[in-house]
Structure formats: structure tokens, C-alpha cells
Structure 1
Amino acid sequence: MASNKDSFGRTLFVVVGLCLICSVLVSTAAVVLKPIQQENKLLDKQKYILEAASLINPKEGKITKKDILSKYEQYVDARLVDLKTGEFVEGDANLYDQRKASRDTETSSIPENDVASIKRVADKAVVYLVRNDEGKLTSVILPVHGYGLWSTMYAFLALEADLNTVQGLVYYDQGETPGLGGEVENPKWKALWKGKQLFDAQGDLAISVTKNPTVASSVHGVDALSGATLTSNGVQHSLEFWLGKEGFASFIAKARNGGLS
């Protein structure tokens, strides 16, 4: 019996010891790798911002880290905006985590008209101002998101300096069905957005993701994704929310009145 107890005790000691060692290794790895993961996450975001502004083209081959960092630093100015007032506010926009802020009841609110099913909207958002070598504003990039069929879809909407004409809509994080809703990342579908206008002559939101070929071929229309009605609706609702009064409407109004000059 003593031998069995000793054997059990040694086994338990080994198991506990291994668990402790593994826990230490996992915790250490997590701490060591976290800065690298954060750096890669930021670099990935910057790459999509540059793509939305047509400053890089993924079709041209591998884009190096150096290319991304140099172009972003040279041309892009990230600014924090108070969504209620549309005014710029102080803070490091490159380090601001809008998703985290939207989950905090102290830094977010429940939208009155949650057409995009985002549940909470952060009080502040990031906008990206893109200027050319002469310092002239060429793009304003707005982060937008909303729920599709299976997932919350995150994108960058790039607008020309008139804040009406679309330069690009680039989805960078979504979990829609591959080959259907996942086609929001298809270059052919993304190309449909270039040159479209969001607002009509009266200033009302007019952009429409639609199956109607006549509307889709107009300056305010984009052809809906085939076989992915709910995902297409999600794109439409995302734009309706983020270009509306609880999104960037105040900022857009101020920008059009010289707020970016």
C-alpha cells in the first residue's frame, strides 16, 4: 500500500510540475509576443488604409513592411473625431482602439437607430486624412462596420476630398460565407465602388447596394453580391449608419464647410 501511495504521489507531483512549467511557458510567450502581435496588427491596418486610398496595389506583388511604413508616415494623418460634434479631439489616433472603446460603457453609447446591428457606438472614431506630395488633401478614409449574415464586417471607406465620391471600399475583417458573402473582398466587386457618389444633389444619402441593374449602373448604385442578400444588406446598413447622424454626419458637414483646410 505504501508503495502504491508513493507511486501516486510521485505521479501527482510530476503532473502538477508539468502544469506549472507549461503555464509559465505559455504566460511568458504571451507577454513576449504581445508587442509583436500588436505591431503586426497595426501594420496590417495601415496596409488596408493605404489600399483604400489607392496608395498601394496588392496585385503588383509583395508589399514590404518598409513600403507600408514609409508610405503611411509620408501621406496619412490619423485624427480622432468626436462623433457628436464632428470636431477633432486630442489623442493618439494610431493607438486608439475603437472596438475596445465601443465595449466600454464609459466611452460609448447605445445607438437610437441601430440599423447596422453594432449594439454600441464609441464616442470617438478615427479618420484618416491622406495628402499628396504637395500637401493637398486627396482622400478621407472612414472606418465603418456592421453585421452581415454571420459576422460583423469591418471596412475602410475612402472618399475623395469632396467627401462624396468613393475612392474605394476595402473590407479587412469579416466572417461571411466564402464564395458568397465573403466576396466583399473580391477585387472585382471592390472595383465597382470607385467613382460612385454617396449623396444626391440635396445632400441626402443615395448610395444603394442593389439587385436592380438600372440602379446599380447609376452613379449612386452598386451591384449586390450574387447569392448573398443578407451580406449585401449588411454593407448597405453599415453605410447608412456610419454616414448618418450617429456616425460621421457631423464630421462630414464640418469638413465640407472648410473644417479640413
Structure 2
Amino acid sequence: MNKDSNVFTFGFAIAMVVVVGTVLAVAAMGLKDRQKANVQQEKMKNILSTIGAMKADGDRSKAKGLFDKHVVEQKVFNAEGEIMEDAPEAFKIDVRKEYKSLPQSKRHYPLYVCEKDGETYYVIPMVGTGLWGPIWGYIALEGDMETIYGTSFDHKGETPGLGAEISQSSFQEQFEGKTIFNQEGKFVSVGVLKSGAEGNKHAVDGITGGTITSKGVDEMIDRTIGTYVPYFKTKKA
């Protein structure tokens, strides 16, 4: 065979594409279970970080054992705040996927009831829209179902130093101790303000230069927690 011919060159190229493609496909299939496990562990770690059971930079391989220890109950609500008895397991619900593909009335709303050091916490997953793409996170409420104990926020493509700051502790720690109901028992959420949140029990300061992302977090919190309010009020009654 003439190795300098066009036929050989094209044939060799096609053979290499087939071989490399096959190797990549086999590798992807082999890693699929590991990748799925990593995603699940990361999700567990984020939930646990809101109640202080894991650090944000903790070893996620320990997440499963801690998750089973601290998450004592999982519930799923519909858009009206009613418990869905026939819903999928809360942990299996992909809130980011549902946010993207389903209208609000058709989405599932998971709730994780956690216990740590004798205290009960309610962890709410949420998803919204930032400047450049989706944002998401978790908020843990204390046993009174109105005081924020901890948060965990992340993003897909927000600008470093600006909107991406939602994933930093300096932003997230502002929420600790804030309350979602006013003195009259009305749901007011926790607003993300451009400035002037100091001393306000229902607001935190937004990110300088990250106005749209801050507004996205504000909307995400208000819309999502609002869904659970009927249940919280029933439990508090």
C-alpha cells in the first residue's frame, strides 16, 4: 500500500477517529457511575454545609455517612405548598432541571429535615437565574422555621469578583440570623439590597458590581421559600 497516497491518508484518519471515539465512549461509560456518585456527594455536602455538619471544602467522600446521620426526613411539596405523598424521593429530584424545563406549577419542591446536636433544621433547595446563567443554593432554617441558620449558593458562569461572589462565605454569612417573617407573622423573605441592609433583620447587602446576580438571588429566595410558607405556618400554629 502506498502510504503517500490520499487513500491511505484518509483511511488512516478515519481509522483513528473510530478508535479514539471508541476509547472515549468506553471511558465515558466506565466513569459514568463515578461521575454520578460525585454529583450526589457534592449535593449532600452542600446540604450538610448549611447546618454546619460539613465544611464547604470538606472531603465529599464522607458526605454519604453524614447525610444519613443528619437528614432524618425528606418531604416533597407542590407549588401550593402541599405535601405530595406520591412524589419521588426528595433527593432524586433535580430542581435545576425542573426549573429549566417545567412551569412553576408543575415543579416539585423538596425539603430536608435535619438534626444536629439536638436541634432541628429545615433545608430548602432553590434555583434561579443570574446574569450569565443559572444560580442555585440551599438555605437552612432553624427549628422555629423562620430564622436562617446557614446558606450555600453557587453558580454556573457568573463573573469572577462580581456575581460569582455569591459562592463566597463573605456573602453567605450575611444571611445567618436573618428572619423570613416580620413581627406580625407575615412572610417578607430576606431581600438582597443594593445597600443599607445593616440592622435590617430581613435583608442583606448585595454584591457591589453584581446587581443582576444579586437581584437573581433575591428573586430565587423569595419565590422558593414562599412555596413552603403554608407548611411552616401550619407547623407553627
TM-score interval (norm. to shorter): 0.7 to 0.9
Instruction: Specify which of 240, 245, 251 is matched with residue 222 of structure 2.
Output: 240
How many Å apart are 1:133 and its aligned residue?
6.1
Q: Is the counterpart of residue 100 in structure 1 residue 97 in structure 2?
A: yes
Structure 1 vs Structure 2 CA RMSD = 2.5
CA contact (8 A) 1:52 1:156 kept: yes
Q: What does residue range 211-250 of structure 1 map to in structure 2 within 5 Å?
A: 211-213=194-196, 215-244=197-226, 248=227
The aligned counterpart of 2:33 is: 35
The aligned counterpart of 1:89 is: 85
The aligned counterpart of 1:143 is: 125
How many Å apart are 1:50 and its aligned residue?
0.6
Q: TM-score, normalised by structure 2?
A: 0.86
The aligned counterpart of 2:70 is: 75
CA–CA distance in 2 between the matches of 1:94 and 1:195?
26
Letter in 2 for 1:140: Y
Q: What does residue range 163-182 of structure 1 map to in structure 2 within 5 Å?
A: 163-182=145-164
Listed as ranges, the gaps of 5+ residues in structure 2 are none
SS of equivalent to 1:63: coil
Q: 1:89 to 1:172 in 2, by over 3 A?
A: farther
CA–CA distance in 2 between the matches of 1:122 and 1:95?
16
How many Å apart are 1:96 and its aligned residue?
2.5
1:118-156 CA deviation, whole Å, 9 max, x = no partner? xxx65212211102365x6x1111111211222211111
CA–CA distance in 2 between the matches of 1:236 and 1:18?
51
CA contact (8 A) 2:81 2:230 kept: no
CA–CA distance in 2 between the matches of 1:102 and 1:231?
17
How many Å apart are 1:219 and its aligned residue?
1.0
Give the number of equivalent residue pairs.
233
CA contact (8 A) 1:126 1:142 kept: yes
Letter in 2 for 1:88: M
Letter in 2 for 1:167: Y
How many Å apart are 1:47 and its aligned residue?
0.7
Q: TM-score, normalised by structure 1?
A: 0.79
Percent identical pairs in the alignment equals 24
Listed as ranges, the gaps of 5+ residues in structure 1 are 112-120
Q: 1:86 to 1:211 in 2, by over 3 A?
A: same
The aligned counterpart of 1:162 is: 144
SS of equivalent to 2:91: coil
CA–CA distance in 1 between the matches of 2:189 and 2:229?
15
Q: 1:216 to 1:146 in 2, by over 3 A?
A: farther
CA contact (8 A) 1:160 1:167 kept: yes
Q: 1:217 to 1:255 in 2, by over 3 A?
A: closer
1:98-132 CA deviation, whole Å, 9 max, x = no partner? 3334455xxx32x4xxxxxxxxx652122111023
CA contact (8 A) 2:95 2:126 kept: no
CA–CA distance in 2 between the matches of 1:133 and 1:169?
18
CA–CA distance in 2 between the matches of 1:228 and 1:65?
30
**Further displaced range: 72-81 or 232-241:** 72-81
